[in-house]
Amino acid sequence: MTQDPTHYTLQLEMLEQDDVLGDEHAIELFRGEFALALNAGRFDRLTAGDMALGAVSRATPQEGVTRYTVELEVDERQPGLDDERAEAVLCRAITGALNASYFARICDESLSMQLVSRMPAGTRQPSVV
């Protein structure tokens, strides 16, 4: 019996590179960098199978800081993972990707990550955009 996928919503805040222009271009770069990190196995500790990048939005809550809100569908590797442990595993994966220079085309050196929500994919409420 396979476990149902889990829906994650997370927020990443960062100082963007100066040459990132506009929401569409920035989101395209983010999606590309995420795909490269995923293909390189940076998220293998979190997922046993598929991981799908869903909606990505971008906002600037304060001067110089950019926030990406990201939705993921994940086939979790560890059944019964609690939110705290899931956030820790995801944070290590993002940090590892950043240290391996993924996201370097959009991010200046560091970012912060917050897990906003995590729930079985079938119980997820539609996103408000």
The tens digit of pLDDT for each residue in 73-119 reads 999 888 788 999 999 999 999 989 988 888 888 888 778 999 999 99
Q: DSSP assignment of 32-62, as one string?
A: HHHHHHHHTTTTTTTEEEEEEEEEEEEEEEE
The side-by-side arrangement of strands in the sheet containing 107-120 is: 47-62, 65-76, 6-16, 107-120
The domains of the chain, with CATH numbers, are: 17-119 (3.30.300)
- pLDDT tens across 33-77, in order? 999 999 999 999 888 778 899 999 999 888 888 999 999 999 988
Which pLDDT belongs to residue 2? 57
| Overall size of the chain counted in residues | 129
Q: What is the pTM of this model?
A: 0.86
* Coil vs helix vs strand at 31: helix
